[in-house]
Amino acid sequence: DVKVTQSSRYLVKRTGEKVFLECVQDMDHENMFWYRQDPGLGLRLIYFSYDVKMKEKGDIPEGYSVSREKKERFSLILESASTNQTSMYLCASSVTTGLYEQYFGPGTRLTVT
Amino acid sequence: SQKIEQNSEALNIQEGKTATLTCNYTNYSPAYLQWYRQDPGRGPVFLLLIRENEKEKRKERLKVTFDTTLKQSLFHITASQPADSATYLCALDYFGGGTASKLTFGTGTRLQVTL
């Protein structure tokens, strides 16, 4: 089974802190994604990556950056956390051929105080 | 910009009945449409994918239809069970995979199946 893991299930940070969210997948998938999920707004794409060191902006990249130094690992960075970044963060991965469904991690509930 | 509408109201249905969830979109039709299930506090789980040239897809008790004229997909769960209670998300894929493949998700519909 495909497994996508995220470094923390719950995280509490202070305004202005630098925050790292880590995601690891074990199925050699080319594509990796970071979403945030908020009530009433659904899943919104922050960034995605289709290869090591490659990244593309999603719909809401402001205030975030990403890093993909190894194929299996995709990190989301909040350079200076703000309260409006309190959210559920979900990582996903997929292949680039065949069925293109995405496999999601369990999510990280981030609270910025 | 593309807009995806799923009924934001929860759908309450009795066990054994067929649940029908709706996904409507505006503008141009996607190459693929996917449905996911999400349980509280968990990430979405893929259920079914349907291509733009397919009218219907089935998997066990699940059935998905895709009408590009109506710009609508319907998701059916037959003989529903309390274990089917969850939020169901539709997602549009305009590029059909590859390095440009990314999904646009609806906000989801919560299904509650009661005894």
CATH number of B37's domain: 2.60.40.10
| The residue to which tokens 């995280």 are assigned | A11
pLDDT at B94 over 80: no
Fold for domain A4-112? Immunoglobulin-like (2.60.40)
pLDDT digits (tens, 9 = 90+) for A55-89: 999 999 999 999 999 999 999 999 999 999 999 99
What residues of chain B lie within 8 A of the CB of A106, using their CB?
A: 41-43
Residue with tokens 């079914």: B48
Pick the range with the lowest mean pLDDT from A94-108, B37-51, B58-72. Answer: A94-108
Q: Which residues pair with A94 in a beta bridge?
A: A31
A110: nearest Cα among A89, A82, A84: A89
Residue B67: other Cβ atoms inside 10 A = 12
Q: Do B102 and A98 touch (CB under 8 A)?
A: no
Question: Would you list which residues of chain B are within 8 Å, Cβ to Cβ, of chain A?
Answer: 8, 32, 34, 41-46, 49, 89, 93, 96-108
B14 has a pLDDT exceeding 90: yes
A24-64 residue pLDDT tens? 999 899 999 999 999 888 899 999 998 899 999 999 999 99
Probe site for chain A from B101, B107, B109 (most A CB atoms < 10 A):
B101
Structural domain including B16 reads 4-114
pLDDT value at position B99? 58
Beta strand spans in chain A (E): 4-6, 10-13, 19-25, 31-38, 42-49, 56-57, 64-70, 73-78, 87-94, 103-104, 108-112
* pLDDT over 90 (residue B101): no
B105 CB neighbours in chain A (<8 A) are 35, 42-44
CB contact under 8 A, B49 and A104: no
pLDDT of residue B77: 98
Residue from B4, B102, B104, B105 whose CB has the most chain A CBs within 10 Å, to mutate: B102
Q: What share of chain B is helix, strand, coil (3-state, %, to 5)?
A: 5, 55, 45
Tell me how far CA of residue B23 lies from CA of A57, B54, B58, B84, in angstroms.
26, 16, 17, 18
pLDDT of residue A107: 96
Confidence of residue B7 (pLDDT cuts 50, 70, 90): confident
Cβ contacts of B32 on chain A, cutoff 8 Å: 100
Q: Is A61 on the interface with B (CB under 8 A)?
A: no
